[in-house]
Homo-oligomer: A and B are copies of this chain.
Amino acid sequence: MHLPDAVDTLISLAREGDMRALARLISVVENDGTQARQVVERLFPHTGRAHIVGITGAPGTGKSTLVNAMARVYRQRGHRVGIIAIDPTSPFSGGALLGDRVRMRDLVGDPGVFIRSMATRGSLGGLAHATDDVVLILDAMGYERILIETVGVGQAEVDIAASAHTVIVVEAPGLGDDVQAIKAGVLEIADIFVVNKADREGADRTFLALQTMLGLGPRRVQHHGRTMTVHEEAPAPDRAWTPPILKTVATRGEGVDAVVDAVEQHREHLRTTHEGQRREEIRIRRELYRILQDALLSRLMERLPPSSLDEVIQQVTSRSVDPYTAAQQLIARAETQPVTR
């Protein structure tokens, strides 16, 4: 039995619904100090229950408004919702116009909703790391649905959305091209397509363009790297998932219930097939590699005199040694040297 310490106290308070304690826990993990590992170790056994939804799309598709409206529907259905915004133009990140902020005002006062925005640049250890940590804490704290909003451009951002349990790709008419997803290469990661701003001119064209790309009748689609045959008839028990195309007018909440229904159906699909287990393993593998790389680099640095790295960087900068040879030399030196600090 261990005595309650600062971390335990924060965890208890956060469990009781203290939002400031929850925000503090997230800061502890983000600052990556000695207490960060304590938090992860104690909370990790309580994770794995949340359903994580990635919402991605080009700027101007109305992702934030959709996320907002989805959170409201989930609240009506009695779920606690976490929102993580990784989009510099999101109102959750503070980058939006006044109108957007007014629209989300009802969510801000609700204790069943926790909103966190992430800086898209300069986060310690990268965006994926920081997002994993916030997801872990919200999951352990009983947030049952976690909505991650990322801008659908950018490698890190799209990868974060793609590693969610359910991926929603949002399109909108009038952005200069029929379907933005084709250009950004995010088409193949979608579990659900949403054509938002469906009351605008061109919405039907966007809808048809998506439908054409997905084919008609029995068809083969590329889905998460696998080609699968999709039938229109009675589904097999372990059937493939056909990404639905849904229309919404998120500003008025129209069609948002159907989007939430589709997420829940996809969640059920993941639970009844091997796909859910497979995605969770990919998530875990990515996180483990990242932790291993950080730990190994830290151990190497501890074994080298602090000046030696600077010397090597000077040598590489002056082109007297190439970076691969320099890396091998540093590793060899660390292995023959005792721990210096």
Q: List the interface of chain A (C-beta within 8 A of B).
A: 37, 40-41, 44-45, 47-48, 58-60, 88-89, 95, 119-121, 123, 126-127, 151, 153-159, 176, 183-185, 277, 280-281, 284-285, 287-289, 291-297, 299-300, 312-314, 316-317, 319, 322-328, 330-331
**6 A-B contacts (beta carbon < 8 Å):** A88-B185, A288-B316, A292-B300, A293-B294, A293-B297, A296-B331
Q: How far is the CA of A88 from the CA of B37 in the complex (A)?
A: 38
Instruction: Establish whether residues B319 and A47, one from each chain, have CB atoms under 8 Å apart when the complex forms.
Output: yes
Q: Of B155, B280, B313, B330, which one neighbours A317 at CB under 8 angstroms?
A: B280
Determine the chain B residues whose CB is within 8 A of the CB of A60 once the complex forms.
176
CB distance from A244 to the nearest CB of B (A): 23
Name the CB-closest residue of B to A48: B319
Determine the chain B residues whose CB is within 8 A of the CB of A126 once the complex forms.
155
Instruction: Establish whether residues B184 and A324, one from each chain, have CB atoms under 8 Å apart when the complex forms.
Output: no
Instruction: Establish whether residues A285 and B300, one from each chain, have CB atoms under 8 Å apart when the complex forms.
Output: no
Determine the chain B residues whose CB is within 8 A of the CB of A58 once the complex forms.
59
Name the CB-closest residue of B to A330: B292
Instruction: Establish whether residues B120 and A295, one from each chain, have CB atoms under 8 Å apart when the complex forms.
Output: no
Instruction: Establish whether residues B295 and A328, one from each chain, have CB atoms under 8 Å apart when the complex forms.
Output: yes
- Indicate whether A284 sits within 8 Å of B88 (C-beta atoms), given known contacts A155-B157, A185-B121, A299-B331: no
CB distance from A170 to the nearest CB of B (A): 15
Determine the chain B residues whose CB is within 8 A of the CB of A89 once the complex forms.
183-184
Q: How far is the CA of A277 from the CA of B185 in the complex (A)?
A: 37
Determine the chain B residues whose CB is within 8 A of the CB of A299 once the complex forms.
331
